[in-house]
Structure 1
């Protein structure tokens, strides 16, 4: 009886060893371990028969059973470690990064259409001898209004049109203050372009509280309105193409005299009349005029010696006409679908 039980334990070693080698996963290995070492496993079945042995035989069976358990636990442990290592290697292999493959491309951005048009406007004037000057967004009443011949009772000074920070400080309503600061800093002759952001209390399909403007001016001896027309004609042909017609309409600005509104032939209908140009065939693009003598006096220039002209335009307005955009607010909504078109 004892020998048969010991032979069974020996057979379990060989049987388990072969089964362990065939185990392809940790789950299979655990099933084999339970079959041999579990509470209802084969080794336990042998030990249940210890009651049929004599007192002298029981220790021998116990010793053989313990040796079998140690042997089985060892092969299960080794196979388990091997399977775990194999699984880890497979996982690493599946997650391995092939450094020879091209990397994932980051979506390439582009310039905002307002930035693009502002740069195009600047480049159009550089060949004409203009230089670029900048000024602060927060201005004093003197530079934004008083020095530009805008009287105290002018509507532009009202709260509904201007963002006041205090009684004397405000967000500039145009880039014209750069004209005053530049003339204070330099002596004529001057050909200056002043792009920048401006602020007004207004918001609808053609107005926003913050927008971009380009101011330009020329100061020298014997500057004429004809020269102003020549400069603006060159600019319009550079931006909108050769052959685009211009017209100058009499207007009023406090800082220029005489003053004019400058229109171009509608770029949408070619001057035939459409909804964009309100059937007039013309589109307003900027304001211009000869610099008022009072402006020269504010900066210490002698108006009997020097003359000059100035012009100003909204960059968004030019962009809307150039690209056929109907709602100014689209420039500021950060809609990638819109921005990707430029």
Structure 2
């Protein structure tokens, strides 16, 4: 058995030669200093400070040295590895600081900009105005009634005392879904013509057929006319009608109801007037006007204070109204000797134009959110 080689010279171990240790250290330091980013630094650290790096392999050779040589070799390798580790840490801190500074610039957030790039939605103003009108009359004890938009001609015309030769019953004014067949038309039969309702008055007829008097209903909904779409007309528009049937109702009750409605919509001090007119379903009938909500009539006869809203007439036309024709009550099985009633109706689009100075009705139907959004999310 041979004795330990106490005269073993560590210089003869290639990996532990001082110049080899210094070269490995210098190569590692140069690579670390040249690392362009953190990803490259991780690769350089694995290559020069990892388990398979030259300095790590040299460190393994120390165990084969005699005791008197281990201390010097260990010190030399340890200092080199410490220098590499320190350089890696310093370079990592530099690269992380540069990355953070770059991120602050590239990913900067302008806190003065809107925090939410998705614009808030808005309810259509026709919907909110219709519901506001409904609330006014529900508070007065009325009931909201609805009906089909495709209606039998009997409900749309006959029950409302509109004669067969009336111009409104022609294709020039009415959309027919099913044309009249031969023979007498019936409400339920296959020969009954069907139309897109031209007003919400059929809902009043259905309400009288379904309810026992007294009846107080308000009937909002879409209606259809064969009009061209322009600034003041649309083939599909929204209408609201009111029907009140009870004992002893008079034109005075109608007038008071109209005054309350316009004051609720346009403010205190607003009033209405009635002008004689003719409608088949009311007798007597009237056109309903309200005092101009801009000049309140002050522009009449005063050339120095013209009003564009009412053309200096002092009044704005809203719609038609009157006492329910006894023939309509009879058609619905209501005794006209005992009961009387009043009704009125107007277009909500027209009311919206008055309330918010909308000049073109096409803006209401084209679906442009730039028109709808300013009205907000009123509930």
TM-score range, shorter chain: 0.7 to 0.9
8 Å CA contact 2:263, 2:270 repeated in 1: yes
| 1:279 aligned onto 2:312 | yes
1:176 matches 2:201: yes
Trace 1:143-154 onto structure 2 (pairs within 5 A): 143-154=155-166
How far apart are the structure 2 equivalents of 1:330 and 1:146?
A: 35
Partner of 1:229: 255
Match of 1:259 among 282, 285, 302: 285
Q: Aligned residue for 1:21?
A: 32
Q: Could you tell me which of 332, 338, 361 is aligned with 1:328?
A: 361
Deviation for aligned residue 1:287? 0.7
When normalised by structure 1's length, the TM-score is 0.73
* 2:147 counterpart SS class: coil
Pairwise mapping of residues 210-249 of structure 1 onto structure 2 (< 5 A)?
210-249=236-275
Alpha-carbon distance, 1:239 to partner: 1.3
1:196 and 2:221 equivalent?
A: yes
Alpha-carbon shift at residue 10 of structure 1 (Å)? 7.2
Contact 1:266 1:282 in 2 (8 A): yes
Q: Provide Cα deviations, 1:247-294, integer angstroms capped at 9, x if missing partner.
A: 101111111111100001112232225333233221101210111112
Spell out the pairing of 1:63-102 with structure 2 (5 A cutoff).
Answer: none
CA contact (8 A) 1:268 1:324 kept: no
Task: Give the deviation of 1:182 after TM superposition.
Answer: 0.8
Measured after TM superposition, the shift of residue 12 of structure 1 is 5.0
Does the CA-based 8 Å contact 1:212-1:316 persist in structure 2? yes
What SS does the corresponding residue of 2:289 show, helix, strand or coil?
strand
Q: Structure 2 CA distance, aligned partners of 1:339 and 1:120?
A: 17
Q: Does the 8 Å CA contact 1:259/1:287 hold for their aligned counterparts?
A: yes
RMSD: 3.6
Alignment counterpart, residue 133 of structure 2, candidates 121, 125, 128: 121
List structure 1 runs of 4+ shifted beyond 4 angstroms.
5-12, 26-29, 93-96
Higher helix share: 1
Deviation at 1:338, TM superposition (A): 3.2
Aligned equivalents of 1:17, 1:327: Cα separation in 2: 77
Give the distance between the partners of 1:193 and 1:291, measured in 2 at CA. 15
Q: What's the secondary structure of 1:201's corresponding residue?
A: coil
Runs of at least 5 residues in structure 1 that lack an aligned partner in the other structure: 33-74, 97-102
Per-residue deviation, 1:135: 0.9
Contact 2:349 2:361 in 1 (8 A): yes
Deviation at 1:11, TM superposition (A): 6.3
Contact map agreement 1:192 1:218 (CA 8 A) in 2: yes
Partner Cα separation in structure 1 for residue 294 and residue 371 of structure 2: 20
* Other-structure match for 2:150: 138
Corresponding residue SS for 1:295? helix
Q: Could you tell me how far 1:181 is from its partner in structure 2?
A: 0.8
Larger deviation: 232-241 or 19-28?
19-28
Q: Please show how residues 155-174 of structure 1 align to structure 2 within 5 Å.
A: 155-167=167-179, 168-174=193-199
Secondary structure (helix, strand or coil) at the match of 2:174 reads coil
Give the SS at the match of 1:134: coil
The residue aligned with 1:309 is: 342
In structure 1, C-alpha distance between the alignment counterparts of 2:124 and 2:264, rounded to whole Å = 20
Per-residue CA distance 1:101-152 (angstroms, 9 max, x = gap): xx94453333322222212211221232211111111111111111111122
Which residues of structure 2 form unaligned runs of 5+? Answer: 1-11, 45-83, 108-113, 180-192, 301-306
Deviation at 1:28, TM superposition (A): 7.2
